[in-house]
Chain A
């Protein structure tokens, strides 16, 4: 009484009664992963059920195609040993021999009981690693700078100018857009408030001080940190993944001199200029709204501006820009050089780099605000 369990015609699993009254399980067709498809689960339970009978005769001679998946399926059903009565084609013999030799997977290491402490310890060590790494990088760059002063011919001008273009010139569009919009919004909101007090004229003070001293540099720094910082980290990270960093090392070209220093110098130069540009565009935005809302003419606005905003504010902004630029480049390079050669580390490193750079930029701003609290304010 044959009972066909295979819904799929290419896989046959059938129990037949022999002449002597014993049972024989006939397997035929193709036992391959492609043929098994969705039926793996049901077939596996069926096989396990059959395998509980130790006297069952397994007849595999009908199997035309047998791959590793099929063999493993049978092997697991048999409980990792050959059943007592088994006939199979000679070419399939090897598959099961291989199974016998196959090692078992190493057991995953269980998590220790002290894991909260381990995690905390690792975090502390990571912080320590970052601090020392950054310090070493700064030291290295300073040594390189000293070396370049005595060997001016070796200054990497091409890299510096390429970085200037990428981080400075190409950032002009986005910083202008953001700066203009912020100027418009700030001017609009302030002028509405000032109108109620009849203090229209003070719009120039508010816009001048806030944009030149604070908003311009901060907007520029945050935009550049996101834009150039991420690209610097990713560039160094990809160079690590593709072993380009190692290729540079074996050519005797130090990373710090050829890759890090030009980026720091370029951003140190480009950032003050971007700050200047962003502040100027933001002021233009504010000026346009002041004209529309309060009827202040452009000429009056521009004439009054130097009187109400001491020029020290501008120097402060440019200084802040230069410092932020160099710090952004330094942090980006630090994270970029730490990236391990796999894609996950690349993504993680880039994220961490941008987040750290933006945070540090804001901290620097706060420090400037405290240290120079007596400068440029009447």
Chain B
């Protein structure tokens, strides 16, 4: 059942690490232009699911299709094209430790081999400005950065090619509230300029409330709730109740007022 409407399609996906079952029969469709937020307890398999969507790990069972094509059996050129359309922010940043901040962001641009150095320089400085990194940090090495800076530079690198599909693993973890807000604004403006599809894992309720079009809740190896924030909050699963209707949840949801 290939669905034309899905930019990412996950079908009957099972994940196992040895005897440890992480996912059982996950079905998910990410629609073009939406922000899908994955929530779930620590260790519920958000990162694992994203890694499978990216083809970094083979699912034990089931299939993942991106842009309507299965992840395996592409020819090289198609796969590269598909990769260039995706940007990924890893949970731990995954900056290249041997390259400076500037080169980290310039690397994907240089790999295209169509842009000249001058254009790349302007683009890199623009991306750095976008994530609020001062130009004096451009020549630093990743080991010389603070944790939050690593996160922001990794975000800049993920957006280096202005991808249409962004995978963000905990984008605001480790950022102070002001920077988190800046991140939310950044994504919001980017969405007005481009059709951007985002799959994001986060524990940050404020970000979730501000950005999510749909929320998928992972618990007990399944997606226990999937839908708009309002629909998800309405379901009766204990994890949902805990996550959204706890003290923190009330506060974050209260800010938006109209959600509940």
Contacts and interface: CB of A to CB of B under 8 A. Distances in A.
Interface of A: 32-34, 36-38, 40-41, 44, 65-69, 72-73, 75-76, 91-92, 94-95, 98-99, 101-106, 241, 340-345
A105 B162 contact: no
Given A41-B114, A95-B193, A341 B143 contact: yes
Interface in B84-113: 84-85, 96-98, 102, 112
A95 B190 CA distance: 9
12 contacts: A65-B194, A66-B194, A67-B193, A69-B115, A72-B123, A98-B130, A103-B128, A103-B134, A105-B121, A341-B143, A342-B141, A344-B98
A155 to B, nearest CB: 34
Nearest to A34: B85
A68 B126 contact: yes
A103 B122 contact: no
Contact of A341 (B97, B102, B135): B97
A67 B190 CA distance: 8
Describe B's contact surface by its main secondary structure. Answer: helix
B139 A106 contact: yes
Contacts of B141: 342
Contacts of A344: 97-98
Interface of B: 84-85, 96-98, 102, 112, 114-116, 118-119, 121-130, 134-136, 138-139, 141-143, 161-162, 164, 189, 192-195
A312 to B, nearest CB: 51
B102 A342 contact: no
A72 B160 CA distance: 13
A343 B104 CA distance: 14
Given A105-B102, A106-B136, A65 B114 contact: no
Given A98-B129, A241-B97, A75 B122 contact: yes
Q: Which of A40, A68, A98, A345 has the most C-beta atoms of chain B within 10 angstroms of its own C-beta?
A: A68
Nearest to A90: B192
A38 B81 CA distance: 13
Which 5 interchain pairs have the tightest Cβ spacing?
A342-B97, A344-B98, A67-B162, A341-B143, A103-B135
B16 to A, nearest CB: 26
A75 B129 CA distance: 16
B193 A91 contact: yes
A94 B126 contact: no
Contacts of A73: 119
A35 to B, nearest CB: 10
Given A32-B194, A41-B114, A342-B98, A103 B125 contact: yes
Given A40-B119, A103-B125, 14 more contacts: A33-B162, A34-B85, A65-B195, A68-B127, A69-B123, A76-B119, A76-B122, A92-B193, A104-B125, A105-B124, A106-B136, A106-B138, A340-B143, A342-B142
Q: Which of A33, A44, A103, A241 has the most C-beta atoms of chain B within 10 angstroms of its own C-beta?
A: A33
A33 B161 contact: yes
Contact of B119 (A66, A72, A99, A106): A72
A67 B191 CA distance: 10
B194 A67 contact: yes
B71 to A, nearest CB: 19
Contacts of B115: 40, 69
B126 A99 contact: yes
A336 to B, nearest CB: 17
B214 to A, nearest CB: 23
Contacts of A99: 126
B82 to A, nearest CB: 11
A104 B116 CA distance: 16
B193 A37 contact: no
B116 A103 contact: no
B135 A32 contact: no
Given A65-B195, A67-B194, A105 B125 contact: yes
A94 B135 CA distance: 20
B126 A72 contact: yes
